[in-house]
Structure 1
């Protein structure tokens, strides 16, 4: 009985000492999780930054398109009134433009490209 107790005690001491030399698996896993978390946060930051850039570009393109569309609509309205026989002065009053602006729009639209 003493030999069994002594054998078990020796075995316990041996296993206990080996546990100090063995790498702590929990710490390694914690470090790996921390590294993955940091990498994930960096990726999210980069994606959010890129998304913000794309949103700004999209907003800028929409603003340019709106400006172009409004300008084209103005030109179309001026041409429509001119085709109905209105004078430049009447068109200017109707569209709340100056007569020079109306004349400029008409000249630009009716100029033929030179080759």
Structure 2
């Protein structure tokens, strides 16, 4: 009986030591989930940055230099553009809709939207 008791104690100590050295499957799964979570966050951040860059590129004020054939025409276009920006923003701040501003100033609706969106983007 004593031998059986001693052998059971030795067996239990061996199994206890074995359990410390055995790989924990739950910890392995936790590490994998954590790694996947980090990868997803990195991809989300990169996508957000790309989207912000794209928004910045799309909301830049329109340039009129490419329409000019020489420097004098370019200067005239710049003055006209800044005057147009001023008029559009003034009318928009007075509560006019984009369509009404485009009709009043005889400018394409897309151009008015670009100007208004550019100002809204800068205010953020």
Measured in 2, the distance between the counterparts of 1:62 and 1:85 equals: 34
Secondary structure in 1 matching 2:80: coil
Matched, 1:27 2:15: yes
| Residues 13-55 of structure 1: per-residue CA shift (max 9 Å, x gap) | 94x44321224212223224426x3222111111001111111
- Count of residue pairs the alignment pairs up: 79
Counterparts in 2 of 1:61 and 1:67: CA distance versus 1, 3 Å = same
Rg (Cα) greater in structure: 1
Q: Hey, which bits of structure 1, 4+ residues long, moved more than 3 A?
A: 79-83
Matched, 1:59 2:46: yes
Query: What's the TM-score once normalised by structure 2's chain length?
Result: 0.48
Aligned counterpart for 1:49 among listed residues 36, 48, 57: 36
Query: What's the TM-score once normalised by structure 1's chain length?
Result: 0.51
Counterparts in 2 of 1:106 and 1:19: CA distance versus 1, 3 Å = same
Matched, 1:107 2:112: yes
Which sections of structure 1, spanning at least 5 residues, go unmatched? Answer: 1-12, 87-102, 111-115
Measured in 1, the distance between the counterparts of 2:16 and 2:64 equals: 76
Measured in 2, the distance between the counterparts of 1:61 and 1:43 equals: 27
Which sections of structure 2, spanning at least 5 residues, go unmatched? Answer: 66-73, 82-107, 117-124
